[in-house]
Amino acid sequence: MTLREAAPAKVNLSLHVTGRRADGYHLLDSLVVFTEMGDLVSLRPMRGLSLSITGPEAAELGAGSDNLVLRAARLMGARDLALTLDKRLPLASGIGGGSSDAAACLRLLMRETGAPCPSPAAVLALGADVPVCLDPRPARMRGIGERLNPVPPLPPLWMVLVNPRLEVPTPQVFKALGAPDNPPMPDVLPDWPDARAFLDWLALQRNDLQAPAIASAPVIATVLDALDAAPGCALARMSGSGATCFGLFANEPAAQAAARVIAEDHPGWWCVATALRAGPDQ
């Protein structure tokens, strides 16, 4: 019997860098959402513990012992399981692919074995984005990723994700960041009665890593311009430390049309239209 668990893409709709700890870790304040698009983790009984990687983005990803899926499985004490990762999200692209894969593995093994979730510290040690990916629904993420709070309900929206097939090393982007002490989001997030109110509010927020990422990889600005030019795009911004960018749309037809045009104009880019995910079971 094969069991499966979705590993949705994680998107930082906003990402405010609010400080830096003495150990060098940056402090963040971010509004995080998840999409219907993502990877897929599955398992079946088999002697020993193994990982196979399939899918359109599998070529550059190794299945060695340091793979986050295997690390998550070992953290759960998994034995005699064949794990498969269907890799659909680009690697090192600012949309939490590896972290979401690890979180999906944890959820899958908790459901299969009945074992409790590892401690928050152990989950955080897998990666700063793993805690928020463990419960893939909209959240406010603060600190280095360990402080999570629910957010008011978000309106239904569609998104076009675009990656120019360029890896931007996260340490390089943080190093290029000027001041690490920037204003956070408001202490209390408002209720958003509709998509227009939410988009107007979101336009006032930031991704503080966008400018330093563009300085390192100017093609990101080209991606943002392509999204901005798409009919119906309400907001274009970079996710995480890049290089994936997103455009927000009110409905599926506009998002799908934008994705088709961008993919035709830039055949070397990764481009997909997807709905926002309200919760792990949707």
Non-local CB neighbours of 172 within 8 Å, separated by 6+ positions: 216
Q: What is the pLDDT of residues 6-43, one digit of tens each?
A: 999 999 999 999 999 999 899 999 999 999 999 999 99
Domain boundary among 93, 116, 149: 149
122 and 157 share a domain? no
In this structure, the answer to whether residues 205 and 93 fall within a common structural domain is no
Measured distance CA(251)–CA(163) in Å, rounded: 21
Mean pLDDT over residues 253-263, rounded? 98
Taking Cα atoms as reference points, which of 220, 246, 213, 222 lies closest to residue 14? Answer: 246
Is residue 121 within 8 A of residue 62, CB to CB? The reply is no
How many residues are listed for the chain in this entry?
282
> Which residue among 114, 149, 184 closes a domain?
149
pLDDT number for residue 70: 97
Q: Which of 10, 39, 86, 87 is catalytic?
A: 10
Give tens-digit pLDDT for 237-248.
Answer: 999 999 999 999
Domain membership of residue 282 (yes or no) is no
Percent of the chain with pLDDT over 70: 98
The residue from 115, 134, 149 where one domain ends is 149
249 bridge partner residues:
158
**pLDDT for position 121:** 97
Residue 138 shares a structural domain with residue 184: no
- Of 29, 86, 101, 129, the active-site residue reads 129
Left if phi > 0, otherwise alpha if psi is -120 to 50, otherwise beta: which for 16?
beta
Q: What's the domain count of the chain?
A: 2
Which residues have C-beta within 8 Å of that of residue 237, sequence separation ≥ 6? 13, 14, 207, 210, 224, 245, 246
- Domain containing 190 equals 152-277
Residue 87 falls in the annotated catalytic set? no
Identify whether residues 138 and 9 lie together within a single domain.
Answer: yes
pLDDT given for residue 178 in this prediction: 87
Cis peptide before 243 (omega within 30 of 0): yes
Q: Could you read off the pLDDT of 40-64 as tens digits, one per residue?
A: 999 999 999 999 999 999 998 998 9
For residues 240 and 184, membership in a common domain is answered with: yes
The CATH code of the domain that includes 169 is: 3.30.70.890
The whole-number average pLDDT for the span 245-268 is 98
List, for residues 135-176, the tens digit of each pLDDT value: 999 999 999 999 999 999 999 999 999 999 998 999 999 999
pLDDT at 280 over 60: no
* CB-CB contact of 103 with 8 (8 Å): no
Same domain, 134 and 7: yes
For residue 179, what pLDDT is reported?
87
**Which of 226, 189, 259 lies closest to 35, judged by CA?**
259
Q: What percent of the chain has pLDDT over 90?
A: 92
CA distance 213 to 225: 15
My answer on whether 137 and 234 are in the same domain is no
Between the CA of residue 62 and those of 58, 70, 105, what are the distances in Å? 8, 11, 17
Report the DSSP beta bridge partners of residue 207: 15
Alpha helices in the chain (DSSP H): 68-75, 97-113, 120-126, 130-134, 170-176, 195-203, 210-216, 219-229, 252-265
Region of 240 please: left (phi>0), alpha (psi -120 to 50) or beta.
Answer: left
* 141 and 15 together in one domain: yes
66 tagged catalytic: no
